[in-house]
Amino acid sequence: MNFRTILSTAVFIGLSLLAGAIGSIFTFDQIPTWYAGLIKPSWTPPSFVFGPVWTTLYVLMGSAAALVWNSKKFGRVFPTWLFIAHLIVNALWSIVFFGLHEVGLALYIILTLAVVIMVMMVIFARYSKLAAWLLLPYLLWVLYASTLNAGIFFLNL
């Protein structure tokens, strides 16, 4: 691996972790207060699970974007911008769910995020099959998180 590859990988992982950090600004204070008071589905994991899972997913998604960027194939700009736009949607979910307590709107956002991830997987596969596969755990987690969001929405009407 050359310096350019290492640097771009670090940048994409860093951007992903930054999106997570932005979301966490709106999350941490709400977990022991507002979130603790919600009725949650029976399949909700303990709160301590979310941090390690999301950190792993941010590293995987950043690595996937780096593989696309480093593929040297023509047209890498669109998937890169799609990746950045998806990070905004990702952070927006935390802002809306935890920051604004808009569980219903957050459900629309997380379902939109799942669709964007699927589109990214298709587009990323054109540049790197591995990049698309690295997004699969992320997609599965977001689909699972969507069921949690929906459960919380309906249980707390």
Spatial contact of 90 and 77, defined as CB atoms under 8 Å apart: no
Q: Collapse the DSSP code of 99 into the 3-class scheme (helix H, G, I; strand E, B; otherwise coil) and give the result.
A: helix
pLDDT beyond 80 at 1: no
Mean pLDDT of 30-37: 95
User: For residue range 71-115, what is the model confidence (pLDDT) as tens digits?
Assistant: 988 888 899 999 999 999 999 999 999 999 999 999 999 999 999
Task: List, as own/partner pairs, every contact residues 36-39 make where C-beta atoms lie below 8 angstroms and the sequence separation is at least 24, other chains included.
Answer: 38/152, 38/155, 38/156, 39/152, 39/155, 39/156
pLDDT confidence of residue 74: 80
The pLDDT assigned to 87 comes to: 98
pLDDT in tens, 57-73: 999 999 999 999 999 88
